[in-house]
Structure 1
């Protein structure tokens, strides 16, 4: 009869292989979680940057249509307009309506501006896109008793 030590010989090799495979799988899983966390952080930062690019687009378009110092209603920027801000493609659209008041003394320009900032290919995992929509108004008063050629002024 063979001794117990002889029959147990080689028993530790399968246990060691099992432990190595299990530890390797755990390390791989931990690395995958770390990579996903880093990708999430990068997308968060890029999302904030996309928001800022979209906001910059809205501010630029608002300056163009409100045109401080002008005495006439400005038309919308060419729509759609594409800008590049910090590698983000910013697409701007603008719509304008100019209703008159009942006394026909005020021009009220209503501007709807939409700015969409994006980076990355459509459908790609790393695509980031943010959109901001604003509505602005500008009012110009036309004095009905003023002589012809009088310049309109901002409403109060």
Structure 2
């Protein structure tokens, strides 16, 4: 009489390996999801900062149109209250003469450059290394120029 032993246990090994593979796939998907969420957050903050900088440029052009002179550098506190972004706008003026009019008088022109920087820090642009290294820190800059002639000769 011979006694045969049945082999068993192979299904348990396969089930354990399958569970390990499923756990690794779930961990990879979780990490991918958190990375995707951080990327979307950065894109949203970047778009909002860009729009705040654009609004700063438009504010600067409005000031030029109504006042006619450069205003130096100003921080717009209303933007911070409304959007969470501090906007610093500066204006520089460069004057020059270009050509002559028909009676021989030099044509005076001025180029105004509006520089707007927006960021989600207390001061903008932020020079603090601890603030800049934060994962949710965003800063955008927009620069625009306009040429204004002293007479109606155009630029």
When the two structures are superposed, what TM-score results if normalisation uses the length of structure 2? 0.72
Residue 2 of structure 1: how far off its partner (Å): 6.2
Instruction: Pick from 73, 92, 97 the counterpart of residue 95 of structure 1.
Output: 92
Alignment map for 1:11-90 (pairs within 5 Å):
11-67=10-66, 73-74=68-69, 76-79=70-73, 81-84=74-77, 85=79, 86-90=83-87
Q: Report the count of equivalent residues.
A: 135
Residue 41 of structure 1: how far off its partner (Å): 2.0
Residue 138 of structure 1: how far off its partner (Å): 1.6
Where do 5+ consecutive residues of structure 1 fail to align? 142-153
1:134 paired to 2:134 = no
Where do 5+ consecutive residues of structure 2 fail to align? 122-130
Q: What are the Cα deviations for residues 45-91 of structure 1, in whole angstroms up to 9, with x where unaligned?
A: 22221111010000001111232xx6xx51x2222x22242111222
Structure with bigger gyration radius? 1
Q: What are the Cα deviations for residues 9-40 of structure 1, in whole angstroms up to 9, with x where unaligned?
A: x4433332222121111011112112222222
Partner SS, residue 125 of structure 1: coil
Structure 1 residues 18 and 109: CA distance shift in structure 2, 3 A? same
Structure 1 residues 14 and 63: CA distance shift in structure 2, 3 A? same
Alignment map for 1:4-15 (pairs within 5 Å):
4-5=5-6, 7-8=7-8, 10-15=9-14
Contact 2:72 2:92 in 1 (8 A): no
Residue 124 of structure 1: how far off its partner (Å): 2.0
Contact 1:82 1:90 in 2 (8 A): yes
Residue 113 of structure 1: how far off its partner (Å): 1.4
Q: Name whichever structure is richer in helix by fraction.
A: 2
Distance 2:23 2:150 in 1: 72
Residue 155 of structure 1: how far off its partner (Å): 4.8
Structure 1 residues 18 and 93: CA distance shift in structure 2, 3 A? same
